[in-house]
Chain A
Amino acid sequence: MKFGKRLKKQVEESLPGWRDKFLAYKRLKVLVRLVSADHRSGSSSPHRAAAEAAFVRLLNDEVDRFNAFFLEQEEEFIIRHREVRETAKAVADDEQRQPSEMRKVRREIVDLHGEMVLPLNYSAVNYTGLAKILKKYDKRTGRLLRLPFIGEVLKQPFFTTELMSRLVRDCEATMEAVFASSASRDPWTSTNAEMAPIATEQGIFRNTVAVLVAMKELRSGSSTYGHFSLPPLASEPALPEQSLLLSIQVAEIFPI
């Protein structure tokens, strides 16, 4: 499947508020086509210059959009993460905690964790799109836009996701704390694949699954494999996960 289609699919699968935040890949492609068309036909250079300028401008605009959205998400998650941590601490310390409270807190943490991973995916998808469109542009126009541009992109807020990643890990740590405190009550058994279809009802989870599947497809091996392509996604030895993914996909087709 082409990247454009995959991107579109991912956008459709994403949370409603996110759908317009992704890269305008198709539009950029159109611009590239316009630029190269002008080039080939040898038409007056102002047109080509206009197209090129528009392309660059759109690229910059997109990057700014990503930055804004990502930073906003980051800010919200910083706030929510702290709140969840406080809540978790309170519940963990509270001797008379209710099972329902524990459940709630756990659920909150897990959901927050899932939500925090999504901006990371957002960043990755958009970066990939940018890299691809730049490669196309360079190929069609013979310019050298890609390398310097990508170099700058790497420094942009939306791609410097270290903080977000750290928050995710902190979330996991908090989770351990909360779950560990009541380990005796809820023993961890092996994951039950039957739970999977039910779990798809939950928005974040569904989104996570969609993202994982998309990622797998995207990384399954490219026809234009080159020095800048990512290697195929390493096939995981964890077979339960694979079957889990499959069962989830089935469940999505036939929602319960």
Chain B
Amino acid sequence: MERMTTNPFYTSGIPVTVPSPLPSATLDENFPGLPDAQNVLMERELRRTPLLPHQSTVARMRGQLHPSTGSVGPLCSPQAVRFSSVSNPEQYTSANPYTSQTPSNGSSSAMVYGSHHEGLEPTYTDLPINVGPVWCPDHIMLEYSDDVPAGNNLTGISPIAATDELAKQTEWWTEFMNDDWKDIADNTGGAKTQPQAGPPVQPSTSVHQPASQQIVPIQLVEPSVVAAPSPSASSNTSKTRMRWTPELHERFVDAVNILGGSEKATPKGVLKLMKADNLTIYHVKSHLQKYRTARYRPELSEGSSERLDASKEELPSIDLKGSFDLTEALRLQLELQKRLHEQLEVQRSLQLRIEEQGKCLQIMIEQQCKPGADKVLDSSTSAEGSKLSSDPQESSTVKDVPNYSQNGTAAEAGAIIDERLLYVYDTNHYYDESL
């Protein structure tokens, strides 16, 4: 399946992941009781024999994760290893794009400035399943290092003896955070499997925690991790990016102007002036970069506006009979865009409503199921009876029920629930009649 290895979706290699709740749930149970977790992991490990070679690689890498090394490189390796270890045994791959990513692909600035915010978190979500207990303590340590700079507290994670290690690691982290990302990237390039992934990854981990905080006060968005069937309370481990708003941006611009313009302003200065909670220097840095780019281009074009006008570079194919035709074309474009926007809005509100109705249905059916559960057992005979003697109206409602379950609303669990619903409906009718 060529799709597997050369998935076009991942070629640019922006690895953006967040631990899913399902594995995160395992994380949560890992923290309080390591020994038990380790046993669980060992069990799982046994089932995944192909992973052993990878596991040893990870273990080796693991050793390098100690803060004393002080180098950036080792931290990238587990990430690389993780992907390869995950992909190969499971034969579902997105391995190659991750391991071979280079920052020089198209959106390079995005890469460097933390558009991929997977950080080290995803590593942890995968490894509990795939790799043995070797992995655990380090995971916890690094998890803390994510938190400490931002001052977040991961719920449900009990402090572990590694706190001293933690403090050391945090210091080491903050040292790095004060450096320029690009310098780090340049220095460590080429030597390791994923040189470019490393440096951006590390600072971005600290970015994520504040990001999750940032989102709450400023915007409507919950920084919650997307839920799996077993919903978990691990929203604090989400690595969502910082969500900028126009208001925040306005403050940013004010700060920049105070400092003398986009060229003169430094991220540190801007950060100080802005006095925004949970805004890190990395957020500001990347934002400043974007700001500079946005301003630079218009200035360029303004300077050469006469040239443009003369050469008609913008629209080579339009015979400019004055500004009239161009305006018409623009208007056309605008109208179409407006149309699209409108349609998208409508679609979105419809989708929201559909989901809401789905939820309501689920609640309704659940409510019916619960009281109906006992009745199913007791009054099965009477249900039978009422079923047989059901009038057309009843039978039509009964018919609706299987439809619902087939279409995938709340009762999507198959034939058994279909039948139970039938009984519930019938017994309800039965009860109505008795009243």
Contacts and interface: CB of A to CB of B under 8 A. Distances in A.
A110 to B, nearest CB: 5
Given A124-B344, A160-B221, A228-B407, A145 B226 contact: no
Interface in A85-115: 87, 98-104, 106-108, 110, 113-114
Interface string B81-105: 0000000001010100000000000
Given A53-B22, A186-B323, A199-B332, A68 B347 contact: no
B57 interface: no
A192 to B, nearest CB: 5
Interface string A195-210: 1101101101100110
Interface in A57-105: 57-61, 63-65, 67-69, 71-72, 74-76, 78-83, 87, 98-104
What's the dominant secondary structure at chain A's contact region?
Answer: helix
Nearest to A211: B340
Interface in A104-135: 104, 106-108, 110, 113-114, 117, 120-121, 123-124, 127-128, 131, 135
A195 B9 CA distance: 35
B249 A56 contact: no
Given A22-B9, A64-B17, A107 B115 contact: no
Contacts of B355: 150-151, 154, 228
Interface in B310-358: 314-318, 323-341, 343-345, 347-348, 350-352, 354-355, 357-358
B408 A83 contact: no
Interface string A42-66: 0000100011011011111101110
B1 A30 contact: yes
A101 B215 CA distance: 38
Interface of A: 11, 16-17, 19-24, 26-27, 30-31, 34, 46, 50-51, 53-54, 56-61, 63-65, 67-69, 71-72, 74-76, 78-83, 87, 98-104, 106-108, 110, 113-114, 117, 120-121, 123-124, 127-128, 131, 135, 138-139, 142-157, 160-163, 165, 167-168, 172, 175, 185-186, 188-189, 191-192, 195-196, 198-199, 201-202, 204-205, 208-209, 211-212, 215, 219, 226-228, 230-231, 233, 236, 241, 244, 256
Given A67-B241, A82-B253, A157-B243, 16 more contacts: A30-B92, A53-B22, A56-B228, A60-B226, A61-B122, A64-B17, A65-B14, A75-B244, A79-B287, A83-B295, A107-B314, A124-B344, A124-B347, A127-B351, A145-B229, A155-B221
